[in-house]
Every structure is written in C-alpha cells, then in structure tokens.
Amino acid sequence: MKKMSFFQGAILLCLWVLWGCDKIRPPYTRPLFEGVIDTVAYPPPSFSPDFSAQRVVLVEDYTGHTCGYCPNAADVLNQITHAMPDKVVGLAVHAGDNFAAPKPPEYPSDFRTEAGTAWDNFFGISAAGQPNGMVNRKMFNGNRISPFATWNSRAQAILNASPLADVQIAIKNYYLADKGQVISYIHAAALKSLPEAVKLGVYISEDSVIAPQKRYVIDTLNGGLITLHIEDYVHMHMLRGHSGAIWGDVIFPAGAPAGTITRKDHLISLRPEWNPKHCKVVCIAYLADSYEVVQAFQKSFLD
C-alpha cells in the first residue's frame, strides 16, 4: 500500500511537470506590422543634397519622474529648444531604475524605452546621477556627460564652430490615421567625406505628455527643500520608442564621398498611449566609432 502511495505521488508530480511549460523557440517575436509600404499611394519625395544645410545639435536630457531635480534640467532644455527651434533637437530620455522606474501609486507610469535604456547603460548617464545629459554625445574635457547648466553654451559652441552640417537629413511623413501608422521617408546626404562610418537611428518623441513628476523647490522661509508632487506636469521631448535597430544602421561607410545620398523607409505603428498630434520622428546621424552626433533632425507625424 505504501509503495502504491509512493508511485501515485510520483505520477502525480510528473503530471504537474508535464502540465506546466510552454517553451517558446526563436524567433521569439514578429514585426508589429507585416507588410510593405505602398509607395504608389504614398510616394517618396524627391531629394537632392543642399550643401548649405545648417547643423542641428542633439541635446539629450536623461531624466525620471521621481527625480526631484530633473524639472530644472527640463526647463533648460525647453528654453534652448524654444530659442533655437531649427538648430537644436531635444530628447528627454526617461532612464534608470532610481528615478524613472514606476513608483505606484504616485508615479505609476513607466516611460522608459528600450532605446533609452540601451543608451543609458552604454553611456552611464543615470549611473552618474540625474539630471544629466549629453550634447551631440560629444566629449567635453574628456567626459561625454554634460551637466544641464552647460547644455546651452556647449550647443552654441558646436554651432558656432561649424554652422554648416556634415550630413543633411530630410524627412517626409505620411500619417495614416485609419491604420494607426506613419510612413516616414528619410533621406540623408553626406555633405562632406567623413573619416568614420555614419549610422542613422530613427526614434519617436512626444511633447505635452501629462503625467506626475516630483520636483524639489527651495523653501525660502525655513530653508532646505520642499518636495512637490506635480500631478499634471507637462513632459516635453519625451523619447517614446525607436523604429528599426536601436542603434540605427550604417548609411555611409567611412570615407563616403560628399554628395552620397541614401533613403530609409520606415513604417511606424502607433502605440495607443501616443498622441499623434504631439509626436515627431527624430533622426540621429552619428559617427559609428566615436558615437559623436553629426546631425539631428525631427519632423512631426502630421507634417
């Protein structure tokens, strides 16, 4: 009887084992939209290089909704992008476990993205503390990380040093409201021969995202800091995702001659939480080895 009980137990255990597993085999994923872009109904624009194209600088703000000092950096980024709307592209990258992770119930959202996390891990921004950021991912005094107080002067310095762009980027978007998609034709032209290969990454940013944000303000009466919970904080330039590879693709090999043109077609499926009216396609062209950005460009979904 005891032997029977043992075997019954063993069989019962085996049944549990067999019952409980779904092994997923590669490929683990499939594209959100499987299809081709209808280039007849939505024709790509014509493009020719403009050797007088102006340089556009990328200013990245690595931030988080529980980072009390981060709104100060966001204010600086907003001031820069308002002052130089055609010369600066701003990206607010919510990244890191300390300040960007959801902290329900006050801060339930998770605005972190795969691209932002990959950048943050690679460049070590949140590990160095937030708020912090980068200006064109360029090294200043041996450090790629730029405190927010330096963003304006460093962006100005880059623009003053070489106002003409090395790479020209042009974007044409078709917003397909019924399908919840955006077709984005991206042209790039090498305006001069560059010593490194150039990569182009395509990303989505969104303005006017209303969500809670912690903010520290100075208590002028009692000294110290007051912690504010701003329920309806307006987040600008928020990185929402990427299209294609996180780190982009090579568009020009090293030494590609001036005048070389390439076109990248992207079909972007909108996420329910995005407001298309506030979203932009952001392109970043950078040197593949040194990661320094040579040109940034953005275009609204609806343009």
Partner 1 sequence: MAYSGLWGKRSFAFTACIIFSNLSILAQENSPQTRENSWGSLTGTSGADVWYYMKDPKSGAQFVEDRVRMNSFLQLMYKKGGFSAGLRYEAYLPKPILGIDPRFEGQGIAFRFAAYEWKGLEVTAGSFYEQFGNGLIFRAYEARPLGFDNFVDGFRIKYNLKGLHLKALAGRMRNFWNWSPGYIRGGDAEFNLAEISPRVAKSKFNCIVGGSFMGKYQGDKELILGNEILQLPQNVGAWSGRATLVAGAFSLSAEYAAKINDPSVVNNYIYKPGQALLVTVNYAAPNVGFSLGAKRVDNMDFRTSRYVTGNEQLINWIPMLNKQHTYMLAASIYPYAVQYMGENGLQAELQVAIPKGSKLGGKYGMDINLNGSIVYGLDTLNGTSRGGYKSRLLGVGQQYYHDFNVELSKKFSKKWKLNLMYMKLFTNLNVVPVSQLPSPPPSVSAHIGVMDVAWRITTDHNLRLELQSLYTRDDGGSWLFSLLEYTLAPHWFVSFMNQYNVGHPDPAKRIHYPMGSAGYNMGNHRFQLSAGRQRAGILCIGGVCRAVPAATGVTLSYIGTF
In the complex, the residues that contact partner 1 under the rule CB under 8 A are: 2, 5-6, 9-10, 12-13, 16-17, 19-24, 26-33, 67-69, 97-98, 101-102, 104-105, 110, 113-114, 117, 127-130, 216, 219, 222-227, 241-244, 268-269, 271
Least Å distance, CB 127 to partner 1, is: 5
Nearer to partner 1, 180 or 254 (CB): 180
**CA-CA-CA-CA torsion for 84, 95, 216, 146, nearest 10 degrees?**
-50
Nearer to partner 1, 28 or 141 (CB): 28
Nearer to partner 1, 48 or 227 (CB): 227
Question: CB 290: neighbour CB atoms within 10 A?
Answer: 14
* Chain position carrying tokens 């529980």: 66
Determine the Cα–Cα distance for residues 188 and 47; give it in Å rounded to an integer.
9
Least Å distance, CB 215 to partner 1, is: 12
Determine the Cα–Cα distance for residues 216 and 153; give it in Å rounded to an integer.
25
Nearer to partner 1, 33 or 51 (CB): 33
Least Å distance, CB 63 to partner 1, is: 13
DSSP 301: T
Determine the Cα–Cα distance for residues 187 and 282; give it in Å rounded to an integer.
13
Judging by DSSP bridges, how do beta strands 249-252 and 198-206 pair with one another?
Answer: antiparallel
Least Å distance, CB 110 to partner 1, is: 8
Least Å distance, CB 86 to partner 1, is: 29
Residues in the chain: 303
